[in-house]
């Protein structure tokens, strides 16, 4: 699965977002070592801090299905924002230094290694 294909999946996942408070939908598509795609979307809660980011939903969902090795992740937002600090940490812990594909809704795609997003991870 190439970058554009994974981003397409993340775009699809973004449509499942529950972002009724921020109106900022995020979609993630996590590629497992077996080339399976695990979706993630942000899910907001009325008790705001209990909201969960799309990237962590994808990682936790995969792990809860027994999938523990990952090749890459794609994240789609309206403006192509990069993952938050908490998600960088969790992704690094469970996926290692994978490529993170980013895209906005205009199709501007880029890739950055996770270690470059989180140069000094807590390990």
Q: Phi and psi dihedrals of 72, rounded to 5?
A: -170, 170
Q: What is the token pair recorded at 10?
A: 């993340």
CB of 22 to ligand THU, least distance (A): 4
Instruction: Note if 109 is an active site residue.
Output: no
Nearer to ligand THU, 21 or 33 (CB): 21
CB of 49 to ligand THU, least distance (A): 11
Q: Phi and psi dihedrals of 18, rounded to 5?
A: -110, 90
CB of 80 to ligand THU, least distance (A): 12
Catalytic site residue from 33, 36, 44, 55? 55
Residue from 6, 5, 11 nearest 54 by CA: 11
Q: How far apart are CA 4 and CA 32, in angstroms?
A: 16
Active site residues: 55
Note the residues at the interface with ligand THU (CB under 6 A): 19, 22, 24, 26, 42, 44, 51, 53-55, 83-84, 87
């Amino acid at each position: 699965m190439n970058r554009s294909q994974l981003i397409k999946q993340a775009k699809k996942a973004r449509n499942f977002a529950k972002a009724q408070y921020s109106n900022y939908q995020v979609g993630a598509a996590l590629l497992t070592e077996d080339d399976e795609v695990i979706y993630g979307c942000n899910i907001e809660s009325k008790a705001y801090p209990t909201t969960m980011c799309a990237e962590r939903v994808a990682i936790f969902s995969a792990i809860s299905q027994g999938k523990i090795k990952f090749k890459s992740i794609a994240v789609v937002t309206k403006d192509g924002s990069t993952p938050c600090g908490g998600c960088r940490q969790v992704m690094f812990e469970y996926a290692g230094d994978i490529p993170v594909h980013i895209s906005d809704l205009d199709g501007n795609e880029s890739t950055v290694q996770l270690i470059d997003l989180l140069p000094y991870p807590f390990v």
